[in-house]
Amino acid sequence: RRGKVVSQAEVTDAPIVAVGSGLPDKSTGYVFDTDDEFQGWAREIGMEEVASRLDEATEKGREQESRADLAWLEAWHKKKTERIINDLNELAQLYDLPVNSPKLFRKVTIEADPLIGSVFDPYILFDSNGCGGSWRPLTGPMPRFGWIGFNNRASSVNGLGGGILFSQYWFKAKKAYLFNIGNQLGDCLDLADINFSNVASSAILI
């Protein structure tokens, strides 16, 4: 399974999948049975630092589940998400670009106006294939997609840098490592390609 083309059923069964333009073959999904197997592969392809940072952030995130201010955090994430949605809609009008445009995505993140700055952590989830339909920007580590009305709704994703989608709240269960989905071309990943459509419930970003 490791580093090989596998059947869709095998991808469904795999607890760990990795995909993205930052990998040796951006058209291939890589599946793993264990975290050790994934980390060994990450070392082999020179992605050990990114993978380790993601896993470290995951562990720190899981430790926060019992904190007492979760209601405040939920309200804060909702408010921040709403602000970013409003900002993106305003900038889409300014630049005369569709809000789901890969060009807009880059203009509000890594190619942002120096006097405006990056609008958000560069990952957006969409509820339709091809990065269409309703959408939510991710505002950093998100332990519960239900907080932003997007639990089990993501069908596609655009993003830059490293991230992990999880199939349960609080960064647990099956996970999909994402490495530079956006790259230079502003690619969009349909999550059905890795059998993660309408599955994601939490996320870690770095």
Nearest to 130, CA basis, from 166, 97, 102: 102
Model pLDDT for residues 74-128, shown as the tens digit of each residue: 999 999 999 999 999 999 999 999 998 888 988 998 889 999 988 887 899 999 9
Q: In which band, very low, low, confident or very high, does the pLDDT at 1 lie, cut at 50, 70 and 90?
A: very low
Alpha carbon separation from 188 to 121, 126, 129, 148 (Å, rounded): 16, 10, 9, 21
pTM attached to this predicted model: 0.91
3-class SS of residue 195:
coil
Model pLDDT for residues 10-50, shown as the tens digit of each residue: 666 789 999 987 777 777 889 999 999 999 999 999 999 99
Amino acid identity at 200: A
d(CA 121, CA 49): 19
22-31: burial string, b at 16+ Cβ within 10 Å, e else: bbeebeebbb
Tokens found for residue 47 = 């992605």
Is the CB of residue 134 less than 8 Å from the CB of residue 170?
no
d(CA 68, CA 23): 39
pLDDT (0 to 100) of residue 134: 95
pLDDT (0 to 100) of residue 91: 95
Q: In which band, very low, low, confident or very high, does the pLDDT at 185 lie, cut at 50, 70 and 90?
A: very low
